[in-house]
Amino acid sequence: MKYLLYIFTCFLLSCNTNSKPDIQIVATPLFWNDIQNFKKQDSISFPPKNAILFIGSSSFTKWTDVQEYFPGYKIINRGFGGSTLLDQIRYVNDIVFPYQPKQIIIYCGENDLASSDTVTAEIVVDRFKQLYKMIREKTHAPIAFISIKPSPSRRHLLAKMRLANLSIMDFSVKQDSMALLKSNMDPAPLRFIDVHWKMLNKAGEPIPEIFLEDSLHMNAKGYAIWQKEIQPYLLKD
């Protein structure tokens, strides 16, 4: 009798265990919180339409006073630190189209190369082309890509950086030429802003004085170089 009671009790416990609902743990997508913070900012004070939109990685994130570098222009900064071109692609619907910008400035690709030795210059270029295509499908706003900068801490990636820069520059020239041959309804030009060579000394090495102690992010001197190179490409109101 005790044995039967034992078996019955085990059966009930088994049924009770199996009846519990499965708990699925869903990982939060990378940089999800950054995007939600942008949306929260927008809910408080939505940026003006027809502004110049900066998207990309930490070089933009840390450029907190970017508006001061470009007085007379309306700048929206939606860079989020550590991001790759894949992350820009993932969140393009959140960080580009809601703002209806008149121009889009992109800095990204450096983190792609640094993320893995298997990421080649060709992969970075293909990712950029995918992002460009996604943006171009929904807006004719002119786009400018800032060349991948020569960070001292990533000196070992210089060859890949330069190959990616050259390929994206070639792609941008072709897009620009195609736009000139077509009507006003066709895609606006894609421009390439070359900052890479301006950040090297006479020996062809990254200038340490324009970077912070981490040898990755820029200081005010570095951003001053960017300002000088970007300024001619910005669209005036």
CATH number of 214's domain: 3.40.50.1110
Q: Each residue of 132-163: pLDDT tens digit? A: 999 999 999 999 999 999 999 999 999 999 99
Range of the domain at 142: 31-233
Domain assignment present for 11: no
How many domains is the chain built from? 1
Answer whether residue 193 is part of any domain: yes
Is 180 within a domain? Answer: yes
Tell me how many helices (H) and strands (E) the chain has.
10, 5
Supply the Cα-derived Rg of the chain in whole angstroms.
24
Q: What pLDDT does 28 receive?
A: 83
Average the pLDDT over 41-55 and give the result.
97
Residue 223 lies in a domain: yes
Q: Assess if residue 8 is contained within a domain.
A: no
The amino acid that residue 105 corresponds to is I
In a domain, 121, yes or no: yes
Give CA separation, 89 vs 37, 94, 234, 236, 237, in Å: 18, 10, 23, 27, 28
Distance (Å, whole) CA 16 – CA 164: 59
**Alpha carbons within 13 A on the beta-carbon side of 49:** 3
In-domain check, residue 209: yes
Total-model pTM: 0.86
pLDDT value, residue 24: 59
What SS3 class is residue 181? helix
* C-alpha pair distances (Å), 73 with each of 234, 235, 236: 8, 8, 7
